[in-house]
Amino acid sequence: QVQFVESGGGLVQPGGSLRLSCTVSGIFDSRIMAWYRQAPGSQRELVAHISALGRTTYYADSVKDRFTISRDNAKNTMYLQMTTLKPEDTAVYYCNYKIRPATWGQGTQVTVAS
């Protein structure tokens, strides 16, 4: 059974940066991977996704030009570099397969506040 372990979240001031990591135990290098987030009182939303070989990426308009998704298939790990963070980026961030998501991990909390 695949497991996703997200890490790297924390409290950061507006304008700051964080780098999230997602380590996958299970199928990784053949799957499109994605980052999602869920803010309090809101539905989970897609933030970004990356193709199996890392050649194609997609970003939600709200994070475009601020976030960068990447992956290291040798390490079964995906990353999300977040810059110029805003209070509205506050959420729990999750990783999963883009197509046919599996059981969700615990996520990592990102809080942007002064």
pLDDT tens, per residue, the chain with 114 residues: 899 999 999 999 999 999 999 999 999 999 999 999 999 999 999 999 999 999 999 999 999 999 999 999 999 999 999 999 999 999 999 999 999 999 999 999 999 999
Residues with Cβ < 8 Å from 41, sequence gap 6 or more?
A: none
Give the list of residues 6+ apart from residue 26 with CB closer than 8 angstroms, or none: 1, 2, 3, 102
Predicted local confidence at residue 11, as pLDDT? 98
Q: Return the residue matching tokens 């053949």.
A: 30
